Amino acid sequence: MFAIQFTETDETTREPDWQELARCNDGTGSMTELFFSEQLDDIAAAKAFCAGCPVKDDCLDGALARREPWGVWGGQLFLNGKVLASKRRRGRPPKVARPEDELPDVPVPVHLQERLRTA
């Protein structure tokens, strides 16, 4: 029916792509809900998780290039392709800010700051 052809593969070592080195890449996609959540505590956890990632600059650069519609990318919160400086709960804002509503500040690399468009 079909002829099976075996070919020898060249077993050369290659550098892994930056996505393979990302802390959020566990191979199962189990962290997707954390990085695309609307809950402030999840967003804070995702940003804190990104802060220690060795490839967060590449991740942020890629998200800016793709104009990601939303989610946490490279330690920054995106909405409609722009980086949000902060996010608050739904409804009327309190007179005194709640400490649990503060999102961690993950600095943007200098070489990406000119490409940054904030909402």
* Residue 92: inside a domain: no
Q: Is residue 20 part of a domain?
A: no
Report if residue 63 sits inside a domain.
yes
The SS3 call for residue 100 is: helix
* Neighbouring C-beta atoms of residue 83, cutoff 10 Å: 20
Report yes or no on 118 lying in a domain. no
Does residue 9 sit within a domain?
Answer: no
- What residues have CB less than 8 Å from 35, skipping those under 6 apart? 24, 46, 71, 72, 73
Domain of 41, in residue numbers: 31-87+97-113
In the chain, the number of structural domains is 1
71 within domain boundaries: yes
CB of 34 closer than 8 Å to CB of 42: yes
Q: What is the DSSP letter of 118?
A: B
pLDDT > 90 in the chain, percent: 24
Query: Which has more confidence, 15 or 79?
Result: 79
Residue 64 lies in a domain: yes
Q: How far apart are CA 27 and CA 109, in angstroms?
A: 27
Q: In this predicted model, what pLDDT tens digit does every residue of 5-57 receive, in sequence order?
A: 555 555 566 666 888 888 888 888 888 999 999 888 899 899 999 988 999 99
